[in-house]
Structure 1
Amino acid sequence: MALWLYRLGRLAARRAWLVIAAWAVIMGLVGGAVALFMGPMSNNFEIPGTETQQMADKLQAELPEASGGTGAVVFTSSDGLQFTSAQEKNITAALQSVTSVPSVKGVIDPFLVTAQKEAGTAQLADGAKKLAAGEAQAAAKKPELDAGLKDVAAAKAKLDAGQAQLDAQKEQIAALPAGSPQAQGAAAQLAAGQAQLDAQKAQWQAGKDKVDAGQAEYDAGQATLAAKRAELSIGQRKADAAEGILFVSENGKAAIGQIQFSESMNAVTPANRQLVQDKLNVLETDGVTVNYSKEIVEDVSELFGISEVLGIAVAAAVLLIMLGTFVAAGLPLLMAVVGVGIGVGGTMALTTVIEMSSISPMLALMLGLAVGIDYSLFIVNRHRQQLLAGMDVRESIAKATGTSGNAVTFAGLTVVIALAALSVTGLPFLAILGLAAAATVAVSVLIALTLTPALLSLIGTRIISKKAWAKNTVATAKHEATLVGLTKTEQGAADEAADIARSARGWGGLVTRHPLISLITAVLALVVIAIPATGLRLALPDGGSEPVDSSAYQAYSITGKNFGEGMNGPIIVVASLPAGLDEAQATVLNLDVADQLRSVPNVIAAVPVTLSADNRTAVYQVIPKEGPASESTVQVVHDLRSEGATILADHDVSIGLTGQTAANVDVSEKLGAALPPYLAIVVGLSLILLILVFRSILVPLLATAGFLLSLVAAFGGVVAVYQWGWLGGIFDVPNPAAVLSFLPIILIGVLFGLAMDYQVFISSGMREAYAHGQDAKQAVRTGFKHAAPVVTAAAIIMVSVFSGFIFSHLTMVRPLGFALAFGVLIDAFVVRMTIVPAAMHLMGKSAWWIPKWLDKILPDVDVEGAKLANLTVTSDASELEPAPANG
């Protein structure tokens, strides 16, 4: 590999303009692709197969009117008083004007909804009053009706008795002699009695008919009262279900409107989001302050902000101090810019065909800048050292590419593999993120190996300042004066003795003089820093994570203060109802389900929102007690899903959760589950690669253990700042909450790659010194002395670049920038430059032990480029041949 890279560097130096032209063409093609094909980005972190995604798909298919995105608008009076009637009318008019914006399906007017709610409450009260009056009236009539029924029954009994008496007389008359005067008199008397009784019966029948009519009227009244009672009961249950949801605060000083979009929020263009804001911002002239939820104001189209520029400025200052000239300092920066231009540009060009989260190009940008500067710096620094030692410019470029370039290749490969391995997590958005960043790092490596040598060839000796040349000339003359009269062997021994003496000074000498104390102190310090990591909680960011002065944070804060934190993160429940229900049955069943949902702990409201035309699909809005990223809301999501089994058993209704709050919980838990296997892959990869590079067992184990220490310490720092709120004022963390859910897995991949970078540059020098015959303990000092300056500069540059993203305009990038900056800081200065040399000094020769059978089967990757020492250049600069074995 070293020989091949040597030839590549030499070719690039000889064909400099061709290499530059090739990269210029590539940049032009990428720029054209971006201009033609770049599409919108999103912060959509859906995972196919999860319940939330299944329910979202179900809504899209069966109830499309309920499937669009929603954003909230929070209105407050500028003077802090209650809204005036004029302000309420103006807000209503402004909201209505928003419906003309493309992608807007409708709006929810807080004052209209509140008025309807108040009217409904008044109607319920009036209905209850009328029902009570009707029941009282019916109760008053009931005794009279009962008395009438009793009189009718008594009269009927009397008539029946009279009829029986007449019938008996009739039988007696029939026994008398026919035609006798006695019989005739009795018959006449019987006829008169029967006529009188028939008249009484007619009178009774009239009374009975009147009583029956009264009974029928009473029964009809009771049926009406029962219907009214049922209607009032349903109305009251609906009111009870919605009791916990307000759109105008109780003090009348804040109101929440909602914008309903016809498409998902990720599909709403920045132009349409801005148009919504323009329509509502006119209210400021009416004394109304308008703030928007994160969904509306979030703009992921801009990658770069002022803080990122400041981070690069610090990196430039470090380069200038280290390299001494603007030309030398500007070269690594230029290489980094070209690298991210091509890598990030290529990523952006794919946004039309691939749904890409905003953090994908941001991570690629962060890593591309950091590694692009560092990788070019390693080659430039080696080239400068060789020039000062008297080597020819092109030969120096070729050897710097073959040595430092070889290490850069391996280091870049570890980063690429670690990032590409994010694909194995089974999370599509994370796979895209990892591949985009890996591609940018790969481009940065190619640029360092080709474009950097080409430009170095054109720059020539100007890469070193005149002052540095003069200083080097004096130092060389002084050094040569000390070697006068010595043989070559004696000169080599003198140089080595001087090198050994210098290696005993500085940080490396201090650490290796007190290795046990240094090792124990550093490890204990990292363990203490890692303690907060035991409380790590994962979630996706919400409005409470935004900057304090942002509209999204103000909307989130005002909503929580006036309406309850849960209004910031409603949970959507989708239900499948049994077949064959009419609208009334479906309504009652919906309320029964809502009651059961509301019984879940920490749920303050559960409202039936929509019912499909076939009465088979229902949607409920559940309002938790606390915000969307809170621990209690995460538990509410679990409890609602657990309650689903009971609801199915009691009502034959199956439910599922969707919406952003539930989706965030699913994504966070899926990421948490993917963390252990991914960590195992990375650790295993670390061991294999380092065994291959250093041909050792203990060095890879030490490097991996150091990586794990850096990792947990970085987690501890992130939890302390972003979850516990320590130093929140400094890092602009106004509302500490759970840690960004995909931060740990990204941090593992990126920090692993970068840690291996520093391990290679620190340990390869130690390995080289040991291979050249130095004592194992002394080799640690010698290797550290040679590598420490450039690793220090590289680490400071990388920390500076990452730190620039701590105050990024994209909130979710901030904790990632902090984690990477803090992780690199710890890994470079505590692990690689303290723990590693201390431990290797203690291990001595055993650090380089490897079983003979393993040593035989491992290929020689020559990451230090040692084979280049055995090369000589023929008269044709393009030809290389091995030097004699004894030479």
Structure 2
Amino acid sequence: MAELLYRTGRFAARRRWGVMGGWLVALMVGLVTFVLFSGTISSAISIPDTPTSKVTDQLASQFRSTSGGSGSVVFETEDGSAFTDAQKAGVADLLKSIGQVDGVTGVTDPFTTQAQLEQSAAQLSEGRKQLEQGQTALENGQKKLDQAQQELDQQREQAGEVGGAAKAQLEAGQEELDRRQADLDAQRTEVEQQAAGLEAGTQVAELSSGFRFVSEDASAAVGTVSFRLPNAEVPTEVKDEIAGLIDNSAIDGVKPLLSQEISQTTPSILGPGEVIGVVVAAIVLVVMLGTLVGAALPLASALLGVGVATLAAMSFSGLVEFQSVTPVLGVMLGLAVGIDYSLFILNRHRNQLKQGMELHESIGLANGTSGNAVVFAGATVMVALLALNVTGVPFLGLMGTVAAGAVLVAILVATTFTPALLSLVGTRILRQKERAASSTPAPATDSTMSTRTSVITLVAGIAALVVIALPALNMRLGLPDGAGQPEDSQGYQAYKIQSEKFGDGFNGPLLVVANLPAPVEEAALVAEQAVVGKAIFDEGDVTAVVPISVSTDRSAIAFQVLPDGGPNSESTADLVHGLRELKPRTSDGGSATLGVAGNASANIDVSQKLSDALPVYLVLVVGLSLLILILVFRSILVPLTATLGFVLSLLAAFGGITAIFQLGWLSGVFGVHEPAPILSFLPIIQTGILFGLAMDYQLFLVSGMREAYAHGAAARVAVRRGFIAGRSVVTAAAIIMISVFAGFIFSHDTTIKPIGFGLAFGVLLDAFVVRMLIIPAAMHLLGDQAWWLPKWMDRIIPDIDVEGAKLERAHPVHPQEAGTASAR
């Protein structure tokens, strides 16, 4: 591989215009395919074959009115007073306009619907009064009938054995009383049936009473918008048209707001924060390299790679469903590794030029040595990302594949486009003083770290990481809801109004489907709804249970359940689990089974699925880490310490994320206005990316130690030499990567913000605490044992020349005349 990269570097240097032109053509092709074939991307996150998805499929196939998605339009009077008739009319007109948008199947006028609910309640109350009056009349009639029967019996007793007309008269009287009793019994049966129906209707109304469309103080109202397609599939154009109607509405004294389901937008790929991160990276490059040309070169390479990778990936968004965070993650990682990989090659090239090596030879050798390390390091990142496909979570696998594609493009750009640029700029990559005279390598130092310092460093570093990791013990996983949206967004404001005026559960209603043991008759439907609804309500932590539909064969009943807590609350999660285990009794003595769907339920299922996948993925990545490092360093203890260090930095990063985004520590500094559970897929994404990056820094630091040890230096001296040789470039690379990732912390999107922080904080801990403190201290204490490898393993393990040492020996540095180097 080293020899191939050496030749590639020299070819790119000689054919610089052709190579650069080829990449520009690739960028243009990506742009064309993006314009022609790209589709919409979604902010909704779902996983197939979960309990929620199964209930959603059942709703779509067996229920007529619940298969599509829905969202809300929240209205609030600006002065907090009750809606006037004119304002109610304006709301109705606006909702009517929204109902005419293509893709919208219907809207619910909150005032009309609330009036209907109140009218139904009044009718039930009036019906109960009439029923009570009827029951009183029946009781009075029965008393009179009983009294007449008693009198007739007395007359019969007094008459004795008589015949003729008197007997016939008594018999006629008895027949009349029997007829009247039969009429009375029939009326009683009818009233009892009415009473049963009224009782069931009243119970259903009582269970539903906690669900309102207009707040109790009449200052807020919620209209529902129903879509033809599920929320995840509603086209952006439909939501944009609704948003336009809301923005152009002019209801005097009323503020309309769209819920998160409609207003949530796709996060921008590059925003102000991200640009600031790139600027900080540029400053670091200028300070390190000392020239604007040198600083611009890694940035140009990274931006080209990101452009090609992003356009290529998004060209498939018309065929595959992309989550909104997928391309952003690709950009985030592509920028960071693109700058670093180009920097590694550039830095090696500069050192060789300063030693007097001819330009094209230096480019080829830098590409064959540092470029070889870049290929290997990038491959480890790609393997970790592609391994996300083994989690069985489709959107996560796609996310890892797209990010791996961005890393692959970054590798290709670094090993082809970067050499072409280096050839173009020539010796201007050096400072003027550096071009004036060649330098000789600094003499190797034989000083070592003291054992006491090593022990203190090791213990202090591990202790610090353990303390930082402690908050991770309380980590809860979830997905973003309206509470986490930017404070100035409609989604957040709508969420807060619904929470304050209607209760937290209004923001996360559950759809519960009761599968009955047998189809229910039409006449018994309300009674069945009452029985099952009461069992659901009695589960606890429930505000309202509203029957909303029945399946076409009447074998299942759908309810909307308002929990007491919000979508991400622990009480709602407990309620979902409780309902899924509940087997409510039905009217015929059988048992129903319950399925739960809705956004809150989906969040729970997604989080559970990812939480279950995390240990498997972590074991896979840790095992992969050990295997790769054994191959690279031909050692057992070096890979073991490197992997343990990675686990420590990973757990510490989890602790920092939990402390800020869930517990709310320093939340104001990072713009976290509503602490919430940690993004459910962040731990897995963090594990994959940090693993790859940790191996990068391990490789560039410890390979220098191994090289010095292989050349005869004492083990502890080799640790010092390797550390000194690699610390400057690793420090710069880590700062650049932290800067790029940190730029995404200031994104308005609640999905991007914690990912940016987690990666920036994770790189900070791994690079500066683990790789530059703990690992050198551990290597010092291990001494010669650090490089121990069983003989049988030494024989079967291939010799992977990651740093291209063989190539370097084949192409030693030969100082050239200054004019020769400059002329090329």
Whether these two folds match at TM > 0.5 is: yes
Matched AA of 1:107? V
Q: Map residues 160-309 of structure 1 onto 2, 5 A cutoff.
A: 161-163=161-163, 197-198=164-165, 200-201=166-167, 203-204=169-170, 207-208=173-174, 210-300=176-266, 302-309=268-275
Of 683, 702, 706, the match for 1:763: 702
Structure 2 residue 733 is matched with structure 1 residue 733: no
2:21 matched residue in structure 1: 21
1:786 matched residue in structure 2: 725
Larger mean Cα displacement after TM superposition, 858-867 or 582-591: 582-591
Residue 856 of structure 1: CA displacement?
A: 2.1
Q: Computing the radius of gyration over CA atoms, which structure comes out larger, 1 or 2?
A: 1
Structure 2 residue 148 is matched with structure 1 residue 148: yes
1:177 matched residue in structure 2: none
Residues 65 and 549 in structure 2, CA contact (< 8 A), matched pair in contact too: no
Larger mean Cα displacement after TM superposition, 21-30 or 795-804: 21-30
Percent identity between the aligned chains?
Answer: 48
Residue 851 of structure 1: CA displacement?
A: 1.7
Residues 385 and 400 in structure 2, CA contact (< 8 A), matched pair in contact too: yes
1:2 matched residue in structure 2: 2
Residues 9 and 397 in structure 1, CA contact (< 8 A), matched pair in contact too: yes
Which string of whole-angstrom CA distances, capped at 9 and with x for unpartnered residues, describes residues 191-213 of structure 1? Answer: xxxxxx41x34544554455345
Matched AA of 1:451? F
Matched AA of 1:218? L
RMSD: 2.2
**Change over 3 Å in CA distance of 1:607–1:652 after alignment to 2:** same
Which string of whole-angstrom CA distances, capped at 9 and with x for unpartnered residues, describes residues 755-796 of structure 1? Answer: 000000111111112222222111111111111111111101
Matched AA of 2:748? H
Of 368, 390, 393, the match for 2:356: 390
Which string of whole-angstrom CA distances, capped at 9 and with x for unpartnered residues, describes residues 461-498 of structure 1? Answer: 1112325535x66xx4xx7xxxxxxxxxxxxxxx77x4
Structure 2 residue 484 is matched with structure 1 residue 545: yes
Residue 853 of structure 1: CA displacement?
A: 2.2
Q: Map residues 751-830 of structure 1 onto 2, 5 A cutoff.
A: 751-830=690-769
Structure 2 residue 485 is matched with structure 1 residue 519: no
Larger mean Cα displacement after TM superposition, 5-14 or 742-751: 5-14
Of 811, 820, 832, the match for 2:771: 832
Of 264, 275, 278, the match for 1:312: 278
1:842 matched residue in structure 2: 781
Of 280, 288, 297, the match for 1:331: 297
SS at match of 2:540: coil
SS at match of 1:74: strand
Which string of whole-angstrom CA distances, capped at 9 and with x for unpartnered residues, describes residues 230-271 of structure 1? Answer: 232122111111022122111222222211111011221222
1:192 matched residue in structure 2: none
Distance 1:519 1:81 in 2: 64
Distance 1:793 1:458 in 2: 24
Which string of whole-angstrom CA distances, capped at 9 and with x for unpartnered residues, describes residues 811-867 of structure 1? Answer: 111111111000000000000011111111111222112122222222111112211
Matched AA of 1:40? T
Residues 352 and 813 in structure 2, CA contact (< 8 A), matched pair in contact too: no
Matched AA of 2:10? R
2:821 matched residue in structure 1: none
Residue 873 of structure 1: CA displacement?
A: 8.8
Distance 1:777 1:649 in 2: 81
Structure 2 residue 50 is matched with structure 1 residue 105: no
Distance 1:5 1:648 in 2: 77
Residues 702 and 836 in structure 1, CA contact (< 8 A), matched pair in contact too: yes
1:131 matched residue in structure 2: 131
Residues 596 and 647 in structure 1, CA contact (< 8 A), matched pair in contact too: no
Residue 333 of structure 1: CA displacement?
A: 1.0
SS at match of 2:71: strand
Residues 583 and 591 in structure 2, CA contact (< 8 A), matched pair in contact too: no
Residue 143 of structure 1: CA displacement?
A: 2.3
Residues 512 and 837 in structure 1, CA contact (< 8 A), matched pair in contact too: no
Residues 542 and 628 in structure 1, CA contact (< 8 A), matched pair in contact too: yes
1:181 matched residue in structure 2: none
TM-score, structure 2 normalization: 0.95
Unaligned runs of 5+ in 2: 817-824
Q: Map residues 404-803 of structure 1 onto 2, 5 A cutoff.
A: 404-470=370-436, 476=439, 498-500=443-445, 514-644=453-583, 651-803=590-742
TM-score, structure 1 normalization: 0.89
Distance 1:849 1:777 in 2: 14
Residue 285 of structure 1: CA displacement?
A: 4.0
SS at match of 2:125: helix
Matched AA of 2:458? L
Unaligned runs of 5+ in 1: 164-196, 480-494, 878-887
Matched AA of 1:151? E
1:174 matched residue in structure 2: none
Distance 1:137 1:279 in 2: 57
Which string of whole-angstrom CA distances, capped at 9 and with x for unpartnered residues, describes residues 602-658 of structure 1? Answer: 122222110123212321111111111111111111111111377799534232122
Distance 2:293 2:273 in 1: 24
Residues 532 and 584 in structure 2, CA contact (< 8 A), matched pair in contact too: no
Matched AA of 1:633? T
Structure 2 residue 57 is matched with structure 1 residue 91: no
SS at match of 1:286: coil
Residues 625 and 639 in structure 2, CA contact (< 8 A), matched pair in contact too: yes
Residue 399 of structure 1: CA displacement?
A: 0.9
**Change over 3 Å in CA distance of 1:53–1:387 after alignment to 2:** same
1:32 matched residue in structure 2: 32
1:484 matched residue in structure 2: none
Distance 1:844 1:787 in 2: 19
SS at match of 2:223: strand
**Change over 3 Å in CA distance of 1:4–1:613 after alignment to 2:** closer
Matched AA of 2:120? G
Residue 88 of structure 1: CA displacement?
A: 1.8
Of 377, 382, 386, the match for 2:343: 377
SS at match of 1:574: strand
Distance 2:340 2:452 in 1: 30
Larger mean Cα displacement after TM superposition, 214-223 or 39-48: 214-223
Residues 647 and 654 in structure 1, CA contact (< 8 A), matched pair in contact too: no
1:182 matched residue in structure 2: none
**Change over 3 Å in CA distance of 1:756–1:51 after alignment to 2:** same
Matched AA of 2:305? G
Which string of whole-angstrom CA distances, capped at 9 and with x for unpartnered residues, describes residues 270-297 of structure 1? Answer: 2211211232344454111122221111
Matched AA of 1:552? G
Residue 424 of structure 1: CA displacement?
A: 0.8
Distance 1:646 1:318 in 2: 69
Which string of whole-angstrom CA distances, capped at 9 and with x for unpartnered residues, describes residues 733-774 of structure 1? Answer: 111111111111111100000000000011111111222222
Distance 2:775 2:589 in 1: 63
SS at match of 1:514: helix
